[in-house]
Amino acid sequence: MTGDAAQCRPRLGCGAVVIRTDGKLLLGKRRRAPEAGCWGWLGGKVEWMEAVQDAVAREIREEADVEIRIVRLLCVVDQFETELTPPQHWVSPVYLADHIAGDARVMEPGAIEALGWFDASSLPQPITHAVRVALPFLAGGKPADQSRSYEAHRKAAL
């Protein structure tokens, strides 16, 4: 496989909808591309030979100094980043998780601009593709259509 072909594979991400006992959801405002300036679930990359649920807990601990308990798999987000060079394709399981301990504070200021706890009915804007995909699952409604490209999702959200 050539170097270019090696870059043309999906990458594995992960994330979680972290819910506090008062029902508020934890979101972080992204500082980096893709989706810089958008509010999204915390998460990141799954490392080689790391269980996905362990990666979710590690990423949230590293980003926000928060401990979580995974409740269940909420959905899988299929995300296409065609504006990046080279383009990227991410497949990311998103879990529902309970907040166990820790005050949410920015631990990775190069990646996250701000953190906050929000009611699902009044989320800050703009939100990431992953938030748009996961919200219907959280509400028990109809899952978001992921059959269109990521660019189509972004245009529809604007």
83 is catalytic: no
DSSP one-letter string for 58-110: HHHHHHH--EEEEEEEEEEEEEEETTSSS-EEEEEEEEEEEEEE-----S-TT
- The helix (H) or strand (E) run that includes residue 154 is helix 150-157
Which residue in 50, 62, 67, 113 is the catalytic one? 113
Q: Contact 134/93 with Cβ under 8 angstroms?
A: no
What is the phi/psi pair of residue 120, to 5°?
Answer: -60, -25
**Could you give the 3-state DSSP secondary structure of residue 53?**
helix
Active site residues: 113
